[in-house]
Structure 1
């Protein structure tokens, strides 16, 4: 169990006892993306010791937030995954990501970046009300290569998925650059002229990108 205890009859205090320890929220971030092996968790949480990670996972298991599972053949690997109780935290994580966006820039020199985090970040700011109908490929370069995402607008709001469209509008940019385009701090034309972004297909479609995301609340 977690060592932190607040002697207060308050639901927020109880939540802080479970998820307020260092690294715990980031463990939950990784498990929201997919069930994950211990070694992969340790690699993505680049400064955490194996002993500390074990302790955090055991505390989450004790609270019913995380469980151990075994992947089917041919993998037969033990992974950690969120329980139904653990998955219920996703809306709160979404709002924390939105809130944290106020403090994201400037990017620090020692910041590491995992492309999977793009999914959670864009989901947090995706417009939930109807958006312009369009489909756009986002390619994000990173140390291991390039990650592709499909951004789709429509009557149900904006949806994000891994992958790339076979054709159509596409933008390739570092994720920090892409966020500046969404906030209109950087225009598509300026990003392209400075070679901070590579554009393909209809620029008219690509100009719809800021309309697909709700950054007003996240930036206040």
Structure 2
């Protein structure tokens, strides 16, 4: 737990638990469904493993998270107190969508983008069998340029790969990283992005048209934006 503000105000007491760097983002990942340490790391790719371990220990000590052994694994689960933070996380995200300005280049990360997309796959909308979506980001560093989502409708399975998994590619999405991030955030629509030169989908026409429907819209993408000043 962070240092005490030495105030009786419940906001101050809550922030003693939540306002250390990364803490609320760890809660965000748990709200989003991550349960394993490695999954939490993938949702927080710029957070060191040692700091993640420390923050989890602090959240366990505060009664927000419980650590539950499961065979050879350990699950991290929100307690009743932790689950009450879900609307707080969603409200903060909605506020950020509405009132925080342009994304900086440092805010763009294909690892995090693909990880979040894989959590929102609508498996019922996928074609039968295995679907492989190859994402190419030509403007990024070579090691971050190519990604694959391997999706299986019957098993409701979705894997994120940063190396070619060796399966035939169903469709290829070539996009600017900023463009696809804006689509995912709901700042622009798939249709608008496809009309620009920043996003292209290659593959059979029926699958090209179907691809946007393979992903469920995030709660933040549905937040109404404030009107643009005249």
Q: TM-score, with normalisation over the residues of structure 2?
A: 0.57
Change (3 A) 1:38 1:193: closer
- Tell me the distance in 2 between the aligned counterparts of 1:26 and 1:189: 30
The Cα offsets for residues 111-160 of structure 1, whole Å up to 9 and x where unpaired, read as 3242343589x9xxxxxxxxxxxx988x8947531387xxxxxxxxxxxx
Consecutive unaligned residues in structure 2, runs of 5 or more: 127-132, 137-145, 159-172, 202-207
Q: Cα–Cα, structure 1 residues 216 and 6, in superposed 2: closer, same or farther, change >3 Å?
A: same
Q: 1:193 to 1:49 in 2, by over 3 A?
A: closer
Instruction: Give the C-alpha shift of residue 79 in structure 1.
Output: 2.0
Per-residue deviation at 1:52?
A: 2.6
* Distance across 1 between alignment mates of 2:100 and 2:190: 21
CA distance in 2, matches of 1:63, 1:71: 22
Would the aligned equivalents of 1:99 and 1:218 in 2 still touch at CA under 8 Å? no
- Give the TM-score normalised by structure 1: 0.60
Question: Where do 5+ consecutive residues of structure 1 fail to align?
Answer: 123-134, 149-160, 164-171
| SS state at 1:67 partner | strand
| Shift in Å, 1:60 | 0.7
The total of aligned residue pairs comes to 177
Secondary structure (helix, strand or coil) at the match of 1:200 reads helix
- Residue of structure 1 aligned with 2:181, choices 170, 176, 191: 176
Other-structure match for 2:100: 103
Q: Give runs of aligned pairs for residues 25-44 of structure 1, distance below 5 A.
A: 25-44=24-43
| 1:117 is the counterpart of 2:119 | no
**Distance (whole Å) between structure 2 residues aligned to residue 197 and residue 4 of structure 1:** 50
Aligned to 2:77: 81
Matched with 2:129 is: none
Tell me the distance in 2 between the aligned counterparts of 1:9 and 1:67: 26
CA distance in 1: counterparts of 2:227 and 2:56, whole angstroms: 30
